[in-house]
Structure 1
Amino acid sequence: MKILILQLARLGDIYISWPAVRAVRRLYPEAEIHFMTRPRFEGAVEGLTAIDRHLTLPSGHILQPLVNESVNTEESLNRMEEFVETVRAENYDQIINLTFSPFSSYLTHALTMPHTSVLGYTRFRDGFFCAADEVSAYFYAQVGINKPNRVHVADIFASMIGTEYVEQDWEAPALPEIGITLPETFLTIHVGASEKHKALTAEAWARALDYFSRRYQGMPIVLIGAPNEMDIANEIIANAPNAAITNLVGQTKMNELFTVLKRSELLIGCDSAPIHMASLTDTPTLNISVGNVNFWETGPKATLGLIYRFENSQEIVPERIGEIIAQLLEGHADPELIMRTPGLASYGKVETAEQEFAWKLVQAIYLGGDYPVADRIEIIEGAMKLDEINDFMMSQFALIPEKGVNAIAPFIDGGEDVIKSISRIVPELRPMIDWYHAEKIRVAPGTQEEIIAATLSVHERFKRHLRVYVPQDEIITTVEAKDGTL
């Protein structure tokens, strides 16, 4: 058996994928497993012994004709076709796409042979998007920024593969010697982030570390980061005179960070690859989460994983971060911190009634849990309107054989517009509406009769979910008694 696993996202996503790749190896110990990434992030594959071959998508080579002075689209397409044909010749029995991106869906489709089974995003034969399995459909509908999902992406990967993790899936790789003398005990600071808007400024880091070093004297600090973050590190050192800092920024390879993290008492950093590397070394981690991110999905998975959450950088008080770090080293977790929890949701946090309703509704739809109680009349009214529009759309689909698609399409489109508007007006119902849209997209190409039948099935299931919140008229069935009385 030959398996291809795609992870074409960034460094952190690759490290999040390590346990899933190892789980695939456990499930198929005799399989030949190939793992594809982008060349820029190939360093995140070093030490991943569960794979037999590492492939890289030569994106630079493919796109190079498009950035020349004379754009050559045909040459770029030829290079892409040549790459696809080379990889397709591997004749994979299974493709597991962990990327969840439009481009990866096209690539997965292009590499799929008639006998290939696919998990993750791909395309139907007509080129339209296809969520190939139930978990992919869940990801499409419920995962992402401002979405209700509370399950970590790593756990979603495991569900898609059809397994549960074991302890060995989360082990650190063999730790390389780094040739640098580290303090006997220390905490580690990653000075950067996956995106600039998620990072602390050099000034903020300096104030936090200087306060910490005055509050918790004698604890050495090791800075890590990429070569392009060396100026940030130098500025931190210059403005934190009380801190005993060892600066490793730009001086280590990616896999050497495993050694640093394994020896560290605590890692502090914003959303970035080291956060996920620390999950593999099981290093206690404080994730400073800033801005537009769903921390439930991408936070640290170390046994002691904590999140200090800020909606924007203006909320940050650096000295408070320094105090919280000191408290953690003293064995106390500040009440402001969000902590890892066992169970389905990856972290525990007090949420608004609207957020709690949405998450419970997700569990009801996908896991057969109890539907949450509607505590606002707007939820009932929204469900009633959705039920009415859904019935109308079902009646229109039934008329297609008689009147034709062109005659019915405007009415169907109008119904979809109403459904979208209700999603905005009644956000509690958005998970159900997003489920509906994902299921509609999953309808495969076929004959008109097949498409109508599959679409009506989606509407019927949508109706069953809606009826939970639609007041039922009392129905009195009159039965004539034998003696003629009622």
Structure 2
Amino acid sequence: MKILIVKLSSLGDVVHAMPAVQDLRRAYPQAQIDWVVERGFAPLVRRCAGVNRVIECELRRWRKSPLSTPTRLAWRAFKAELQREHYDAVIDLQGLSKSALVSWLARLAPQGRRYGLANQTEGSGFEAPARWVADVAVSLPPHIHAVTRSRELCARAFGYAMPVIQSFGLLADVDKAQIAIKSIASEASGRRVVALVHGTSRADKQWPLAAWRTLAARLNDSGYTVALPHGSDEEQTMAQNIASGLAHATVWPRLGLDALTDALAACAGVIGVDSGLSHMAVALDLPHVQIYNFDTAWRTGPQDTTRQVSVYCHPAPDVDAVWRAWLGVSAGIVTP
């Protein structure tokens, strides 16, 4: 059986789709599973166990100049790569017009079918073309976690029971991880490293600088070095401001997703806002505290684990609440 997953973006959404791939692998161990994704997230999908071929697209970039010669050439190459195979199942896990277009372009085997969402779920995007393109549209409960949304869609489409055990299948290179963490935090000799994920694409999800600095100081006092990843100039400035004056803090260089995966995997844990990197920490099964300024952790936050927990308060959780949560997950005991 040949299966095509269509989940184009963004980072957190791509991570949330990975357990569905692991479920499919359990149900169909011999299946070939391919995945269409935006090029920027392709390195992460290549780390997902069971994915055979990653088909890269750049719809975000192409739509800015759809008629230009470079775009037309790139589109033609993408379409040729997409249509190399004939699939027994094409599964649109995104439910948007752009993912519907990709699903529609993909070639089916003689008895192949396209599967997709029949309805919108709370807090997630949904556009009508996704329903029109699907040969089989699957109805899901409106109040559903983002991970369960993809897993349940696949389970109902193929008629198997969703496994009790959830696995993301995100693979890190242990040797490279140790090298990475030593090279970018060499001063942490004898100290474990906790990554502070402060960056997010939405300003209203950020946590105050003063809170980060207080938390980082407590981690230093408890024997940890804090590591500060960043993905933009603005985030780099924030990282430098958090690290300023701390005895044990390192601002990581700007890393690609491959190196970030390995570096995070080598950490003792992660504390971060609702962002793609925080969701990667969950997928890597690290001790993790996820900070929410909005009551949306039920949809995207960690699920039922003693190693990971979300902390919510509006306008923002205080440092004491986050610290208590960290003490719980680092000890393997989550407190209410």
Which residue, 253, 273, 278 being the options, matches 1:275? 278
| 1:57-90 CA distance string (max 9 Å, x none) | 1326633534xxxxx4899689757744652352
Cα separation, partners in 2 of 1:54 and 1:260, compared to 1, 3 Å: same
Matched residue type, 2:259: E
Partner of 2:149: 156
Cα separation, partners in 2 of 1:61 and 1:319, compared to 1, 3 Å: closer
| 1:110-139 CA distance string (max 9 Å, x none) | 3354632122249xxx968346656x4326
Partner SS, residue 257 of structure 2: coil
Partner SS, residue 96 of structure 1: strand
Distance 1:199 1:279 in 2: 19
How far did residue 207 of structure 1 move?
3.3
The 5 Å alignment of 1:23-422 reads 23-59=23-59, 62-63=62-63, 65-66=65-66, 72=67, 80=75, 83-84=78-79, 87-111=82-106, 113=108, 115-121=111-117, 129-130=131-132, 133=136, 136-138=138-140, 142=142, 149=143, 151-162=144-155, 163-165=161-163, 169-176=167-174, 177=176, 178-181=179-182, 182=185, 183=188, 184-210=191-217, 212-213=218-219, 216-228=221-233, 229-238=235-244, 241-242=245-246, 244-250=248-254, 252-291=255-294, 294-301=296-303, 303-312=306-315, 315-318=316-319, 321-322=322-323, 325=326, 329=330, 333=334, 335=336
Work out whether residues 105 and 121 of structure 1, in 8 Å CA contact, stay in contact via their aligned partners in 2.
no
Work out whether residues 197 and 270 of structure 2, in 8 Å CA contact, stay in contact via their aligned partners in 1.
yes
How far did residue 233 of structure 1 move?
0.7
Q: How many residues end up aligned between the 2 structures?
A: 310
Query: Scaled by the length of structure 2, what TM-score is found?
Result: 0.77
Work out whether residues 37 and 56 of structure 2, in 8 Å CA contact, stay in contact via their aligned partners in 1.
yes
Matched residue type, 1:87: L
How far did residue 268 of structure 1 move?
0.6
Distance 1:61 1:208 in 2: 38
Cα separation, partners in 2 of 1:260 and 1:86, compared to 1, 3 Å: closer
Partner of 1:402: none
Cα separation, partners in 2 of 1:257 and 1:65, compared to 1, 3 Å: closer
CA RMSD of aligned residues (A): 3.5
Matched residue type, 2:147: A
Give the stretch that moved more between structures: 55-64 or 25-34.
Answer: 55-64
Partner of 1:342: none
Partner of 1:420: none
Distance 1:127 1:158 in 2: 21
Counting aligned pairs with the same residue, the percent is: 22
Structure with more helix by fraction: 1
Work out whether residues 265 and 284 of structure 1, in 8 Å CA contact, stay in contact via their aligned partners in 2.
yes
Distance 2:130 2:333 in 1: 52
Structure having greater relative contact order (Cα 8 Å, sep ≥ 6): 2
Distance 1:65 1:219 in 2: 47
Distance 1:173 1:226 in 2: 21
Cα separation, partners in 2 of 1:64 and 1:31, compared to 1, 3 Å: same
Work out whether residues 46 and 255 of structure 1, in 8 Å CA contact, stay in contact via their aligned partners in 2.
no
Work out whether residues 96 and 120 of structure 1, in 8 Å CA contact, stay in contact via their aligned partners in 2.
yes
Matched residue type, 2:41: F
Q: Which has the larger radius of gyration?
A: 1
Distance 1:35 1:128 in 2: 17
Query: Scaled by the length of structure 1, what TM-score is found?
Result: 0.55
- Structure 2 unaligned spans of 5+: 119-127, 156-160
